[in-house]
Amino acid sequence: MTVACKGSTVTIHYIGTLDNGRIFDSTPDDDPLVFVVGSDEVFPALHEAIVGMKPGETKNVFIPTAEAFGPKKRENIIKVDRSNFPPERPLEVGNKLSIEFSSGQARVMMVTEVGDTEVTLDGNHPLAGLDLTFALRLEAVG
């Protein structure tokens, strides 16, 4: 039986959960994740966990915040004057907006607070500041 090693193309199914048990992502039954071990397609901790696994094997992998999406950064949270948005545009907490900055750089940001005069936008990854756990099942090694 083939064992996963660096450079192997692997097929996995996973369920990603937070500390409170909430599922944040998973692979559909008919659409597993395929990637090359050692590439930059998934977290390094997942690559390390998969090395040595055989098809059919399962494993739980804990990835602390620092090795996942990192901590939430205060500099990625901004307050914008409400008048910068068209009045007909509905702004609700949880909405994602593509914001273009004066530098020409665009960034997707989430609305976290809507006030009469200000809107608070968060450019952190939604999973920043959180520890992640993945339940893995290695389906195939190519």
Terminal C-alpha separation, the chain: 11
Instruction: Please state, rounded to an integer, the average pLDDT across all residues of the chain.
Output: 94
Query: Which residues of the chain form CATH 3.10.50.40?
Result: 9-69+128-141
- pLDDT tops 80 at residue 80: yes
Angle ∠(69,110,101) on CA atoms, nearest 5 = 95
Fold topology of 74-122: Thrombin, subunit H (2.40.10)
What is the Cα–Cα distance from 141 to 30, expressed in whole angstroms?
A: 17
Model pLDDT for residues 96-131, shown as the tens digit of each residue: 998 888 888 888 999 999 998 999 999 999 999 999
> Which three-class secondary structure state does DSSP give residue 50?
helix
pTM: 0.81
Fold topology of 9-69+128-141: Chitinase A; domain 3 (3.10.50)
Query: Which residues of the chain form CATH 2.40.10.330?
Result: 74-122
The residues, ordered by sequence, that sit 6+ positions from 125 with a Cβ below 8 Å of its Cβ are 69, 70
pLDDT-above-70 percentage for the chain: 99
Q: Which pLDDT score is estimated for 88?
A: 84
Model pLDDT for residues 25-73, shown as the tens digit of each residue: 999 999 999 999 999 899 999 999 999 999 999 999 999 999 999 999 9
Q: Which pLDDT score is estimated for 31?
A: 96
